[in-house]
Structure 1
Amino acid sequence: MSDTSRAAQARPRRAAVLGNPVGHSLSPVLHRAAYQALGLTGWTYDRFEVDEAALPGFVAGMGPEWAGLSLTMPLKRAVIPLLDEISDTAASVEAVNTLVLTEDGRRTGDNTDIPGMVAALREHGVERVATAAVLGAGATASSALAALARVCEGEVAVYVRSAARADEMREWGRRLDVDVRVEDWADAADALRFPLVVATTPAGTTDALAAAVPERPATLFDVLYDPWPTALAARWSMSGGAVVSGLDLLVHQAVLQVERMTGCSAAPLGAMRKAGEHALAAR
């Protein structure tokens, strides 16, 4: 790192996570742990309850002391009109979870959820799979499809509850160049035999599937982290399958956010994960 970069990082800077609700967010814990490990003593990271109506005013009021924002629901799409530039990754799913303010004051948007998913899978040894299944069809499912476009060689089966959701997933498949086959949620137990299963549903939704876990499951990526483990993840692990957790995703996407906001080339993954684990254990 150059002396100029060190001097820029030493001056007081601000960052925060915005959302509604946002009180549950682990982002402050992860980012503050990174700042401490990196020696960024002048940096602060807070959380603010901000809805879609209040977002434009908040962003407009950000001065040069701001480095960036983490954005959670329902702001990931609402922030896009407020940006000067958006990455191809974020544009592909029309969702921005990272706003970075550049030195010249430009607001740039990115999506670290998608590469975060890919990095979490790779950490668990999943580089490529022949096919995959996705449980659910919400906003996280579209990010999962974008990640699977980089990991899955063949068809992705998506299990949904409604015809409207089915149409949405087919459209995302076309946009992301993923071969999507839509299946009814009533047959979701069939998904558990795929080499990679990505569960994107709210807490409790997949609990009933735990009894259907096969004798030799492959890899489950469950995007939840609280409560953890989910019933499905617990049975999967007991049966000898590999489990990638929502905390894995959260940490990997936060690593990328820290790097983009601070300019540091390598955020401290281990320190951030440990901080997240301790925070969850204390809940």
Structure 2
Amino acid sequence: MTPGHNRPRAAVVGSPIAHSLSPVIQLAGYAHLGLDWGYERIELRPDQFDGFIDGLDDSWRGLSVTMPLKERAAACGLPDDDVVLTGAANTVVFGEQRRVYNTDTLGLVDAMAAEGLAVRVGTVIGNGATARSVAVALARGGVRLIEVQGRNPERLRAFRDWAEGSLGVEVQPRSLGAPLDPATEVLVSTVPSAALNTHLDTLAVEFCPALRVVFDVIYHPWPTPLAGRAASAGLRVLSGLDLLVHQAAHQVRLFTGSEVPVAVLMSAVRAELQRRGAS
């Protein structure tokens, strides 16, 4: 296809967006499929979202949605089950009917399945949109007890009521940085590093006897202090790249109708990170 007005387009939207790796991942997927598609970064605030999406022409195939737009995106089209469950969408697909998806849950399930995780007790740090997706993924993976840590007691109670009512798991709300439940086997942090750094001593991942995996959804800068501490303790560490790439594979499928191997996308993003580090 010759580039032009009708060239299929997609983008990642959010704020801040300048350092997003989504264009690298998506364009690698399109190249693997032999598609001449465009993909860009678009800085967008919540108050701009509705006007932007309603103004797109028929060359657009989809949007990847990042913070702080996931809740706004959930209301902009026909939702899949995970959007209904979590109230958050990170994928918009255009067609005869606009549809919205939460591929974060799929990506988290895939990333943890790739590690062979089979656990019963998990801890989630944070209680926002990503934390809800994490809770869904943990519940689907067999976790029956989730400890959730955060600063706001009301939000923690709301998260507990939602998870216990919707997912059928037991939830223990705890203050941010509380010592981990000794039975915790997987810890997933969904908060910025700065919010957690002063709590690492009390969190004490190195002294949790059952803990095997720490999954920090941050990927830049890396390693985070939490990831570094977990690695020093000999724990398996997953980063935001694992989530980003696995969920992006589902986005490429939804946008194009074709599958791309996760390894293709991960290779592209690692090469880009190496290039950025060398520049």
TM-score w.r.t. the length of structure 2 is: 0.88
Aligned to 2:214: 220
Alignment partners' CA distance in 2, 1:279 and 1:168? 39
The SS at the match of 1:206 is helix
Residue 268, structure 1, aligned to residue 261, structure 2 = yes
Aligned to 1:185: 176
Aligned to 2:104: 113
Alignment partners' CA distance in 2, 1:61 and 1:193? 50
Aligned to 2:246: 252
Aligned to 2:59: 65
Greater displacement, 202-211 / 89-98: 202-211
CA displacement 1:218-270 (0-9 Å, x = unmatched): 11111110111112212222322111111000000111000110000x21311
The answer on whether the counterparts of 2:85 and 2:166 sit within 8 Å (CA) in structure 1 is yes
Alignment partners' CA distance in 1, 2:42 and 2:108? 25
Alignment partners' CA distance in 2, 1:44 and 1:158? 39
Shift of 1:12: 2.9
Alignment partners' CA distance in 2, 1:113 and 1:246? 11
Shift of 1:30: 0.6
The answer on whether the counterparts of 2:121 and 2:183 sit within 8 Å (CA) in structure 1 is no
CA displacement 1:80-106 (0-9 Å, x = unmatched): 3331x110111101111101112x3x1
The answer on whether the counterparts of 2:125 and 2:191 sit within 8 Å (CA) in structure 1 is yes
Percent of aligned pairs with the same amino acid: 38
Aligned to 1:14: 9
Alignment partners' CA distance in 1, 2:262 and 2:122? 27
Residue 49, structure 1, aligned to residue 43, structure 2 = yes
Please identify runs of 4+ aligned residues in structure 1 that moved more than 4 A: none
Q: CA RMSD in A?
A: 2.1
Structure 2: 5+ residue stretches without partners: 1-5
- Match of residue 140, structure 1, among 119, 130, 137: 130
The answer on whether the counterparts of 2:80 and 2:100 sit within 8 Å (CA) in structure 1 is yes
CA displacement 1:146-180 (0-9 Å, x = unmatched): 11120133211112222122222212212333211
The answer on whether the counterparts of 1:120 and 1:252 sit within 8 Å (CA) in structure 2 is yes
The answer on whether the counterparts of 2:180 and 2:205 sit within 8 Å (CA) in structure 1 is no
Alignment partners' CA distance in 2, 1:23 and 1:60? 23
- Match of residue 176, structure 1, among 153, 167, 170: 167
Q: 1:165 to 1:100 in 2, by over 3 A?
A: same
The SS at the match of 2:156 is helix
Residue 130, structure 1, aligned to residue 120, structure 2 = yes
- Match of residue 92, structure 1, among 70, 85, 89: 85
Shift of 1:191: 4.5
The SS at the match of 1:204 is helix
Aligned to 1:7: none
Shift of 1:45: 0.5
**1:34 counterpart letter in structure 2:** G
Residue 161, structure 1, aligned to residue 151, structure 2 = yes
Q: 1:200 to 1:260 in 2, by over 3 A?
A: same
**1:130 counterpart letter in structure 2:** R
